[in-house]
A and B are shown apart, each in its own frame.
Chain A
Amino acid sequence: MLNTEPNLAAPDDFYEELIGLHRDLSDEQSALVNAKLILLLANHIGDPGVLRQALAAARQDVVGLDPATPLPETR
């Protein structure tokens, strides 16, 4: 099950590092760095069910949601 409860010990620190990762990069370079990051994290997670939920959650609200994938939701 994809964990969408708070799990980052220092969320502001992480966010700053994530934005810092893209400093001085062109849009194209940023896209490449993001793609590498996704692939590294996906391999670390490994569990296909969790990955499928993360893929669906990422697409949610951008376009319609695939109703086949139940998502955890924080209330």
Chain B
Amino acid sequence: MKTYTQPVYPYTKPTDAGLPQHWPVIVVGAGPVGLTAAIDLASRGLDVLVLDEDDTVSVGSRAICWSKRSLEILDRLGCAERLVKKGVCWNVGRVFFHAEQVYQFDLSPEAGHRRPAFINLQQYYVEQFLVERAGEMPGVDLRWRHRVVGVTPERERVMLTVSTPDGEYAVGADWLIVADGSKSAIGGMLGISSEGQVFRDRFLIADIHMSSAFPAERWFWFDPPFHRHQSALLHRQADDVWRVDFQLGWDADPEEEKKPERILPRLRAMLGDEARFEIEWASVYTFQCRRLRSFRRGRVLFAGDAAHLVSPFGARGANSGIQDADNLAWKLELVVSGQAPERLLDSYDSERTAAADENIRHSTRSTDFITPKSAASRTFRDAVLMLAKRHAFARRLVNSGRLSVPATLCSSPLNTPDTAPFASPMVPGSPAADAPVTGGSGDWLLDYLGQGFTLLLFLAGVPKEGLLRELAALAADPIACASLLVGAVGADLPSGVCALAAESGLLAQRYDARPGTAYLFRPDQHVCARWRDFELTQTRAAIARATGQYMH
């Protein structure tokens, strides 16, 4: 590749490493999901061993669209800024049918959010930045060319056999996070197979290096003149690298289609004879929509592609994997430290399988639109595209990928149901909506959420002594809950309680807040309860519920 040099990470001999024989958590796979999990766990004070069979980052761009929610999670872990600076921010998507544009969408979020809807950045950069962030965390021990070749789940631990260029060794963990990708070797060793659907279609994916006046937009073609009867996609990444994607059909020969003499004419037809470009990487892929029946098997927890697979249209693969890690890390911390029962981890399974099902449903629908499976299906698809040019209603039916939005965990057992009406979509289970604030630790609400449980309390005037005593008590509980006071004036605040100003009004608006309104956030920034009045007992009960104390 011309624009990127793959780093080669140093291998450490197991004998030199002086590795402990037992870890609280071992993560297998140093991809975006495994690294996010490891950094999150280490930021919560756990020691984590990460094992990867390779010694470099992703070859080829692979995942390129990183969603707002992923950036917010990585902000919490101290590494989103590098992604945003290096990445390409985009908002507009265009859909073409034959030679004409039939539909355009704009994902620009409303004002008052720190992060954009999406950035595009090659997966190798994201992995590199995460590796470098992990290197700054004393709790993370990242071992390259350490391949897991055996896994033995036991009652009180999981034992691994690890192969290195210097032979094998054994190591154990209380908990094992399996993030070793779509062909999960660990899943195979444990005899766990996933269930779902394979799509009979092939796609050519290529990164090309090109200086071009094309805008940073997502362009998707159905049946374009340059690639008849198939679809095509063009999307900008960092370093003047562009993602192109050509649907090939099931009968295409993957080895043939990867050859430059096959790719170049397609690109010439798409980009025009004047375009100057070089192919950086090309691959032919098929895809599946499937997931494991359960993401938890005893002490083994599956995350990312090892747990669920979707089509790439919609950017729901890596983004949902990062949400898996975000969901899992705080729960593991509480379980490892003995503050929550092990069954809290069953909520990782129920919450994230529900999210996976939502992603699979969207992805399957997009695929049925992009790759119709019958003559009638193709006729309807073409009818929608033809109507979309003239009629607004049909544009809502065009499906070139429904782009990733974070899952709302509305049926989670960790939620405390509403007891009062709210005119805000921030229902229990929602990831927190960001809003501008002023305070001691940053200019965004999300800067203040995520260390542990956090209570956001809207007040008017001077907080009463009794209230501050109760908030101080919450902050001193074994599972501590910090408080953020919005609209409070003129009081000495106890430890664990801080004041926020939110002058724009967007915070109160997004949360439908009035004086007295309280929101309780989990350590992964999801709402787990909300009330019109703060009450200490019910707040403690909600924290107990959100940490699995009432789960069966």
Instruction: Indicate if B141 sits at the interface (CB-CB under 8 A).
Output: no
Q: Mark B374-391, 1 if CB is under 8 A from A, else 0.
A: 011001101110110001
- Inter-chain contacts of B397 with A (CB < 8 A): 39
Check B379–A40 contact: CB distance below 8 A.
no
What CA separation (Å) do A32 and B379 show in the bound complex? 6
Asked if A32 and B382 sit within 8 Å, CB to CB, the answer is: yes
* B387 and A40 form a contact (CB under 8 A): yes
Q: How many residues of B contact A (CB 8 A)?
A: 13
Which residues from A are CB-within-8-Å of B171? Answer: none
Contact pick for B380, options A35, A40, A43, CB 8 Å: A35
In the assembled complex, the CB of B82 is this many whole angstroms from the nearest CB of chain A, namely 45
Task: Tell whether, in the assembled complex, residue B384 and residue A31 are in contact, meaning their CB atoms are under 8 Å apart.
Answer: no
The chain B residue sitting closest to A31, CB to CB, is B379
**How close is A68's CB to chain B, nearest CB, in angstroms?**
20
Is residue B355 within 8 Å, beta carbon to beta carbon, of the partner chain?
no
CB distance from A1 to the nearest CB of B (A): 23
Instruction: Please report the C-alpha to C-alpha distance between residue A43 and residue B228 in the assembled complex, in whole angstroms.
Output: 29
Does B394 lie at the interface of the complex (its beta carbon under 8 Å from any beta carbon of A)? Answer: yes
Determine whether the beta carbon of B393 is less than 8 Å from that of A32: no
- Taking the closest CB of chain B, its distance from the CB of A26, in whole angstroms, is 12
Q: How far is the CB of B102 from chain A (nearest CB, A)?
A: 13
Q: What residues of B have a CB within 8 angstroms of the CB of A38 in the complex?
A: 380, 383
| Chain A residues within 8 Å of B386, by CB | 32, 36
Task: Give bound CA distance, A31 to B376, whole Å.
Answer: 8
Size range of the chain A interface in the assembly: 10 to 19
Q: Which of B264-306 contact A (CB under 8 A)?
A: none
Contact with A along B393-431 (1 / 0, CB 8 A): 110010000000000000000000000000000000000
Task: Contact check, B393 vs A35: say whether CB atoms are below 8 A apart.
Answer: no
Q: How far is the CB of B399 from chain A (nearest CB, A)?
A: 14
* Whole-angstrom distance between the Cβ of B335 and the nearest chain A Cβ: 42
- Chain B residues lying within 8 Å of A39, measured Cβ to Cβ, are 380, 383-384, 387, 394, 397
- The CA-CA distance from A40 to B380 in the complex, in Å, is 12
What secondary structure prevails in chain B residues at the interface with A? Answer: helix
Give chain A nearest CB distance to B494 CB in angstroms.
53
The 7 closest A-B pairs by CB, nearest first: A35-B383, A43-B393, A36-B383, A31-B379, A35-B379, A35-B380, A32-B379
Not counting A35-B382, A39-B380, a sample of 8 additional A-B residue pairs whose C-beta atoms are within 8 angstroms of each other reads A32-B379, A32-B386, A39-B383, A39-B384, A39-B394, A40-B387, A40-B391, A43-B394
CA distance A43 to B383 in the complex (A): 13
In whole angstroms, how far apart are the Cα atoms of A32 and B380 in the complex?
Answer: 7
Per-position binary interface string of chain A over residues 33-68, scored 1 when its CB falls under 8 Å from any chain B CB and 0 otherwise:
011101110010000000000000000000000000
Please list 18 pairs of residues, one from A and one from B, whose beta carbons are closer than 8 Å in the complex, sorted by A's number. Answer: A31-B376, A32-B379, A32-B382, A32-B383, A32-B386, A34-B379, A35-B376, A35-B379, A38-B380, A38-B383, A39-B383, A39-B384, A39-B387, A39-B397, A40-B387, A40-B391, A43-B393, A43-B394
Q: Report the separation of the CA atoms of residues A40 and B393 in the bound assembly, to the nearest whole angstrom.
A: 9
Give the chain A neighbours of B379 by CB distance below 8 A: 28, 31-32, 34-35
Residues of B within 8 A of A36 (CB): 383, 386-387
Instruction: Give a binary string over A9-42; 1 marks a CB under 8 Å from any B CB, 0 the rest.
Output: 0000000000000000000100110111011100
Residues of chain A contacted by B382 (CB below 8 angstroms): 32, 35
In the complex the two chains form, what is the Cα distance from A31 to B379 in whole Å?
7
B contact residues around A35 at 8 Å (CB): 376, 379-380, 382-383
Residue of B380, B391, B394 with highest tally of chain A CB at under 10 A: B380
CB of B378 to closest CB in A, whole Å: 9
Chain A residues contacting B376 (CB-CB under 8 Å) are 31, 35
User: What residue in chain B is nearest A35 (Cβ atoms)?
Assistant: B383
**Which A residues are CB-close (under 8 A) to B387?**
36, 39-40
**Residue of B with least CB distance to A28:** B379
* Least distance between B375 CB and chain A CB atoms (Å): 8
A35–B386 Cα distance when bound, in Å, is 11
Residues of B within 8 A of A32 (CB): 379, 382-383, 386
Within the complex, the shortest CB–CB distance from B363 to chain A, in Å, comes to: 23
Nearest CB of A to B336, in Å: 47
Chain A residue, CB-CB nearest to B397: A39
Instruction: Looking at the assembled complex, report how far the CB atom of A53 sits from the nearest CB atom of chain B, in whole angstroms.
Output: 19
Residue picked from B375, B376, B383, most chain A C-beta under 10 Å: B383
Instruction: Give B320-354 interface residues, CB cut-off 8 Å to A.
Output: none
Q: Whole-angstrom distance from the CB of A41 to the nearest CB of chain B?
A: 11
Determine the residue in chain B with the shortest Cβ distance to A44. Answer: B393
Report chain A residues within 8 Å CB of B394. 39, 43
Q: In whole Å, how far is A18's beta carbon from the nearest beta carbon of chain B?
A: 17
A40 to B379, CA, bound (A): 14
